[in-house]
Structure 1
Amino acid sequence: MDQQLTLTELIETASQSLKADGITVEYIKQLSCTWNSLERYLATHNLPFNKENCTIFLEEMYGISSKQNYANLRAIDKRRKRAICILVNCADGLSLYRKKTYWTFNFSESYETIFSDFIDERKSCNLALATINRDIYTLNHFSEYLQLSSISDLANISPKVVQGFMKWLSISKNLPTLKSATSTMRQLLRFLYRKEILPGDYSSAVPTVKCRKTVPSVYGKDEIEAMLNSFNRASAVGTRNYAMVLIAVRLGMRSSDICGLELKNIHWEKNTIEFTTKKTGEFTILPLTADVGNAIIKYLKEIRPNVKDEHVFLKMQAPYTKLSSVSLHYMVTKAFRDANVVVASGKRHGPHALRASLATAMLENEVPLPVISETLSHSNTDTTKIYLKIDMHHLRKLALEVPDLTGVWMGGVRI
């Protein structure tokens, strides 16, 4: 490691680089706790800054061994290890964050061309990196299964082969992985049918995998309004953040769609916001309500940097690029905290909770399920039905009377 900067200078350089990348000040402060601790440790032991000493520091101070799997670390220990990796990369002149890329193809030569064409088509739909990697992961396993089954020609795939693959995959994979695989397999089988490789659409042969869904996290009207009122709309950042969070509250848009919103998506003459969702690819038209429109106009006229980037919401410092979904999650979380809204343990407190809260409010107002599904850009109403679990307004009407317990033995005593 070619050490050219002092550790203090290195920490300052890393901080400024992270700020330029749009990392929140709050998160950089959390990283600084580890950096400051490292400074004290090296000074106390009279050690130079290098990768080896950083590894020793993590193990002695926090019990984080270099042999431990990163995924198995506690959240706070992940952040501590990430803080050290950032400094090491900064000293080596490398990217502070490891850039996420597409997974490697492990397709057999017999299927490589067709499977690669399928992945290219999926990429052309502007799907998320995680979705494409899910497809690659499934196809890598499907390729392995076809080889084990001595199927060298994709034209020989049958419904029985599809079901056999899912059964084979279930032996070593958990339910969420199987559910993800079903989505990829249905898309692949439709693709093979369109390309006339298969004589029919076998997507219906893919079995349905159901995972246990948790109860959505929702907040009441008073809590939502208190959260919105916590924004300092006299400041530039507060004005921008308020507009973004208000869109999530009033329209229920996903964080990826809010951050990806472009100027062309807002149709002022029709009072609508029209866009294609990142997650489902559904084309969605939402009403541009008066308060949302006014918040966006205030931001565009008074705050937004005058740059060529077509995204509506941009970072406040150069480079003026679009914000990430993580940034919006932080805005919502901080707003709840500033409003002194009590967030129970395990309860969500980000943009998704605002979607769930909107869906619940719509159910209380007797809005039909298909309308709610369309508003939230769900691909089908089955996804929307999860909100029926928290529709207390209607569930109370179905409550049964508690039976009379007279004459029932409880704890050895007749009541």
Structure 2
Amino acid sequence: MKRHPLVGSAIAAATIIFASAPALAATKFDFWYGLSGDLSDRIQDMCKDFNASQADYEIVCTSQTDYDTNLQNTIAAFRANKQPTITQIFDAGTLDLMLSDAYIPVEQLMKDNGYTIDWSNYFSGVGSYYSTSKGELLSMPFNSSTAMIYFNTDALKKIGFDGLPQTWSQVEDVARKELAAGYECPMGFDPAGAWQWFEQFSAIHNQPIATKGNGYGGLDAEMAASKGLFVQQLTWIKKMYDEKLFVIKNKDTGQVDQDAFAAGTCQMFSGSIAGHGSVTAKAIPDLHWDVAMLPMLDGYTRTNSLVGGASLWTLKGKSAEEYKGAAAFFNFLATPKQTQWWSTVTGYIPVTNSGFEAMKAAGFYDAAPYKGREKAIASLTASTPTENSRGIRLGHYPQIRAEMVKTIQNVLFNNVPVEQALADFDAKGNEILRRFQATYKDAVLP
């Protein structure tokens, strides 16, 4: 059969059009996070790896500088209908998101998009922090940590201390001897570290931060800092500061406590296990150091420490394709390879039992740069969680934490009596809680 010239031309033209048409563009979706510096760089590496691993989605990852700023920017963006698909919310902002009705539960997201994840594989202390009372996980565990204490082991040997201090009385003894031995900064101290100095201290000593099981029992919880052991501990911190055994190291002094330790300026500091990678990277040559669980008061039995860090929340108001991308990204994060990479380059703990066991079996924690990080797991699993150590469910908790920072500063710098300062803190904290309760007065905790 002879083909008509016009038909042949049309077919040829169509062939050219289809041949030159670009491939379908990848679906873009946004991920906002609250980390900066080296940790921000690692997240950017993660995002590049995800984008390179497939061609359907492109994640755009943007630092909002810090946790508080990201929380506030996320809220403002949601109200303006300009929210990202995924946002990283730190531990203190968990209840604010839980009651916001602004998110899609991660279990639902993954199921709706055809992914099967063994949620029971996540460490119970991690999963329960971001779950409902019925056990439904609402957000994806991401960068999980807990508070530790770091020691310059050469300084310990110089003063004749064998091993690592296990109690605060031993820390005091070490600090006094180090000062006498010529170390000008025995302990680098940042008053902004309310997370480790107040919250984690309370958890491992089984002390309430607030009534109603730290808020798990209802929105009518009240602050209880002035009624527990933290009165004694803050009194001790003030004494250590006055005697120059604790030396302020923060942005205002030009060198934060972690960097002062890595530089050999300070011989101890308390911070997140997530700082382990940064200390390793920044440590001066021949700095010998180790990390341990937070010390205890004499005579007390340790309970588990609190999980810190943040989780990833999927926000409402986005397209089905963007949610497919978010689910693919979460599935990427859950792979053993990615879990190990993230823990290796940051210091954050693996959030699953299988991930931890695989890394342990492979000898990860025997290698010099990573040795000691397993102690964070031991701290988080030191006991069955109690109502004082399972977590914190207090509304507007970032504001309450900021009030504790002011409280510590008032005691150290303005000589406000500890009992008065903590009573004032409880009163201010209760004002914040009542405002939150009024906002969600008919809400029932999930």
Relative to the length of structure 1, the TM-score reads 0.25
Greater strand fraction, Structure 1 or Structure 2: 2
- Higher relative contact order by CA 8 Å / sep ≥ 6: 1 or 2? 2
Larger Rg: 1
Greater helix fraction, Structure 1 or Structure 2: 1
